[in-house]
Amino acid sequence: MTQALQPRRSIDFRFLAEPTDVNFGGKVHGGIVMKWMDQAGYACAAQYSGKYCVTVSIGAIRFLRPVQVGQLVTLNARVIHTGRTSMHIFIKIEASDPKLDVVEQTGHSMMVFVACDEKGQPVSVPAWQPQSDEDIALENYAIEAKNAALSLDARLHSTHTLA
């Protein structure tokens, strides 16, 4: 009998920050970094679920320090919480001079993706269980963020008509 493999829950994306990525301040544009986050998050969710995935939300984006042109940027995306059809993906962003051995965290975010079938309907994803203290802390972070978002959405819908 063959044992089923556990889906891989993390992936690393690496980019060299290029001169075309720069903003008016001479640093890599935040929108470029957010594009990279979405790409890494999608790849992680699709790899984990084995399905096409759609972005449901992007939150908790924190830019801690700027990314410089010429730096090697690494985005580590990993599943930190699963629902029935959804996956919370935590993305840590680091940058370094490729010639040096100094890596600095430049930001992080959390994204939620839903796995879909060929017709675009949500489908179940494999359940993920935390294994380490760090996993537990990140899953608690995801659950707290999810509950806060649901509470804020309910407040918004109760006081405003959204088109």
Domain boundaries, the chain: 10-129
Q: What is the mean pLDDT of residues 57-70?
A: 94
Give CATH for domain 10-129.
3.10.129.10
Q: pLDDT at position 4, please?
A: 54
At 160 the pLDDT is 66
Check: CB of residue 93 under 8 Å from CB of residue 37.
yes
Q: Give dist(CA 53, CA 83) in Å, integer.
A: 14
Identity of residue 103:
V
Question: What phi, psi does 8 have (nearest 5°)?
Answer: -70, 130
| Angstrom distance (rounded) from CA 75 to CA 65 | 14
CB 90 within 8 A of CB 80: yes
Q: How confident is the model at residue 152 (pLDDT cuts 50, 70, 90)?
A: confident
The pLDDT tens digits of the residues spanning 123-137 come to 999 999 999 999 999
**Whole-number pLDDT of residue 162:** 58
Q: Which residues of 53-76 are buried (b: 16+ CB within 10 A; e: fewer)?
A: beeebbebbeeeebbbeebbbbbb
Report DSSP state, residue 97.
-
Number of helices (H) and strands (E) in the chain: give both, helices first: 2, 5
Q: How far is CA 11 from CA 52, 74, 86, in A?
A: 16, 10, 17
Band of pLDDT at residue 94, cut at 50, 70 and 90: very high
Q: Are 73 and 89 in contact (CB under 8 A)?
A: no
What is the pLDDT of the chain when averaged over all its residues?
A: 92
Q: Which residues contact 114 (CB under 8 A, 6 or more apart)?
A: 53, 54, 56, 85, 86, 87, 122
Which pLDDT belongs to residue 60? Answer: 84
Strand intervals (E) in 85-143: 86-96, 103-116
